[in-house]
Amino acid sequence: MHRNVTNIIRTVMDEWIPPKIRDSKWFMYPFFWYWYNGDNETIRAYMDFKSRVWSMSADEYAHFYTVLRKKSRAALRPTDLNDACIDFMLKTLEPTAHTVLDVGCGNGFWLRKVQTLGKYELHACDVMPHVDLGKGITYHQGNIEALPFPDKSFDVVTCHHTIEHIPHLDAALKELKRICRKQLMIVTPRQRYFYYTLDEHINFFPLKDELVYRIGLPQHVCLNMDGDWMYVGLPQ
């Protein structure tokens, strides 16, 4: 299901339905049943994810996203990015940049979009073991909380629909800033907290000011684009 559509559905559910009903296990169970294809074991794991994630080891966390998430209908989406964010980033990419790293790259959709511009050396990073993203994209396995790169390794660092999943958020943001030379781009949902959410989110940013504060770059732009925050910052 296209991101623009799921953002509309999320807005209706989160903003129009009374919170006591919206965050009821019984109300949300049919949505989880559909999203996880009726697999009861997987449904239980995902419905309790916000409680379980804090005790997961790094290997358990990687296994969760490498294996179990394949059972979700989210795996059928080509990207979590909406069209407005894609268009904005393609137009805003630093023109003097040479290298681009996408952290939390998934299936490489965003980097293949950048590849059409024909002027960047492309790198990808995620927790999964080796992933073949096609010719011209170099894959690196790594955890966002401790990225395997020296300081200021890449001109542009992008990170889309990832920070909402990360247990140690401040460590992850510090790492993104550490390895970036010229431009940092982050996309995350503009979403209020509920315990039962379909996409394993544990960090929520209903307000722009909190997101801007947590990232902490003085020079930045942060825009609401069709239900997602589009953040572009200049590293110090």
Tens of pLDDT, residues 41-78: 889 888 999 999 999 888 888 888 777 667 777 777 78
How many structural domains are present in the chain?
1
Q: What is the pLDDT of residue 1?
A: 58
Contacts of 78 (CB under 8 A, 6+ apart): 107, 109
Contacts of 35 (CB under 8 A, 6+ apart): 72, 73, 74, 198
Dist. CA 128–CA 98, nearest whole Å: 26
CB atoms within 10 A of CB 193: 15
Cα 177-217-168 angle, rounded to 5 deg: 50
Q: What is the pLDDT of residue 69?
A: 64
Which domain range does residue 48 map to? Answer: 1-236
Q: What is the pLDDT of residue 47?
A: 92
- How do strand 220-225 and strand 154-160 relate by DSSP bridges? unpaired
Percent of the chain's residues with pLDDT above 70 = 97
**DSSP structure class, residue 143:** B
Q: What is the pLDDT of residue 9?
A: 81
Low-confidence ranges of the chain (pLDDT < 50): none
CB atoms within 10 A of CB 194: 16
Q: What is the pLDDT of residue 60?
A: 85
Q: Is the pTM of this model over 0.75?
A: yes
Q: What is the CATH number of the domain that holds 211?
A: 3.40.50.150
